[in-house]
Amino acid sequence: KAGVTQTPRYLIKTRGQQVTLSCSPISGHRSVSWYQQTPGQGLQFLFEYFSETQRNKGNFPGRFSGRQFSNSRSEMNVSTLELGDSALYLCASSLVGGGQIFGPGTRLTVL
């Protein structure tokens, strides 16, 4: 069974730009969550989607948004990038009530 895939794996952007990251969950997993990982703040929850609906949202500004498609694939978007948005963005998928399985992440660098 293929794992969670995230594209792209690496991304370099400049301040003010916007970025879209993609996540394909494990087949059959309908829940997808996104996390931001930085050395200073650690792993922080961004949002969770289930059946195309956002179920939970973390404490991040409105510049961070996401969506989920009918095939459970998910995207997250960050607009008006700031230097502090440089991080590893992780996607995780799970079955209902199951443990979250993480993808390899997308390393975003904002210059």
Partner 1 sequence: QQQVKQSPQSLIVQKGGISIINCAYENTAFDYFPWYQQFPGKGPALLIAIRPDVSEKKEGRFTISFNKSAKQFSLHIMDSQPGDSATYFCAASMSGSQGNLIFGKGTKLSVKP
99 binding partner 1? (CB under 8 A): yes
Residue of 20, 22, 44, 79 that binds partner 1 (CB under 8 A): 44
- The contact mask relative to partner 1 for 60-89 (x = CB under 8 A, - = no) is ------------------------------
Whether omega before 8 lies within 30 degrees of 0, making that bond cis, reads yes
Q: Which of residues 1-30 bind partner 1 (CB under 8 A)?
A: 4
Which amino acid does the sequence have at 35? Y
Find the angle CA(36)-CA(42)-CA(47) to the nearest 5 degrees: 30
Q: Which residues bind partner 1 (CB under 8 A)?
A: 4, 31-33, 35, 42-45, 48, 50, 55-56, 58, 90, 92, 94, 97-105
